Amino acid sequence: MRREERLLAAMVEAVDTLVDDFDLIDFLHRLCDRCNELLDVSAVGVMLADPGGSLQVIAASDEHTRLLELFALQADQGPCVECHRSGTARLNIVLNSPVQTAGFARFAGHARQAGFVTTHALPLRLRQQIVGALNLFDTREQDLSTTDAGVAQALADVATIAILQHRTIAHGNIERAQLRAALTSRISIEQAKGILAERWNITLDDAFDALRRHARAHRQPLTALCQQLIDGSLDTSIIQRP
């Protein structure tokens, strides 16, 4: 398969995540594989920011790279960390250059021990939202060409869209689950109001007030109290009548 076809296939994989249920971790590991294929680099890693803004290693092309990424996080240094903070790419960094590795010498030393000579970091970014960084490592001292840098950023961009889409769906699922729970709770409350109103021969509003007061006084969820009344496990004589 030609390089252009492989690039198109990688883009299609990313677009598929916008419409299909997908495994985010598997997708990011495939992203690492695609970067290895298309960019002729030795290793690839992906870091994502958690809800608190802290970076976490999510995917890597091999165990050495994963451990190196973990060290970068522990030391809070390296091109990937700086890239995430600034939102700008750090390309063609020679790891044995004191000038280029100023500020992350410890990370550079560990990277050299792992056999890497050059590294690049590109932001996973959509407009002003930065969700992580894509990190490329090479065992050779060679620059990432302008074309390859464009391909790498394109892959990072579509990955960012997929990640944000996944988060939107997950958030939407939570919201829908909350709505379903709220509707179910509302049904239970209405049923309990009706039972208590009929049993005591009072209005629905008075029944609701009595249930609310009892729930608050006993620090009990209102829905749980109503469900107990519905299934007959609640002795209504303990509720203060209006």
* Level-2 CATH architecture, domain 3-172: 2-Layer Sandwich (3.30)
Distance, CA of 15 to CA of 10 (rounded, Å) = 9
Looking at domain 183-238, which CATH architecture does it have?
Answer: Orthogonal Bundle (1.10)
Q: Compute CA 81 distance to the chain's CA centroid, rounded to the nearest angstrom.
A: 17
Residue 92 and residue 118: Cα distance in Å, rounded?
6
CA quadruple 56, 60, 63, 69: dihedral sign: negative
Residue 45 contacts residue 133 (beta carbons within 8 Å): no
CA 152 distance to own-chain centroid:
21
Q: Which of 49, 111, 116, 107 is nearest to 75 (CA)?
A: 107
- Cβ neighbors of 205 (< 8 A, separation 6 or more) are none
Count CB-CB contacts under 10 A for residue 185.
16
State the alpha helices, DSSP H only, in 17-143. Answer: 24-39, 63-75, 79-86, 105-113
Q: Along the 242 residues of the chain, how does pLDDT read in single tens digits?
A: 677 777 777 777 666 665 555 667 778 888 888 888 888 899 999 998 887 888 888 888 888 888 888 888 888 899 999 999 999 999 999 999 999 999 899 999 999 999 999 999 999 998 888 999 999 999 999 899 998 999 899 889 888 888 887 777 767 766 677 767 777 888 888 999 999 999 999 999 899 889 988 988 888 888 899 999 999 898 888 999 88
User: In whole angstroms, what is the distance from residue 134 CA to residue 138 CA?
Assistant: 14
| Residue spans per domain, the chain | 3-172, 183-238
pTM score, whole prediction: 0.69
| CA 14/CA 38 separation, integer angstroms | 15
Residue with tokens 């002795």: 235
Examine domains 3-172 and 183-238 and report if their fold is the same: no
Q: What is the Cα Rg of the chain in Å? A: 28
- In this structure, the chain runs to a length of 242
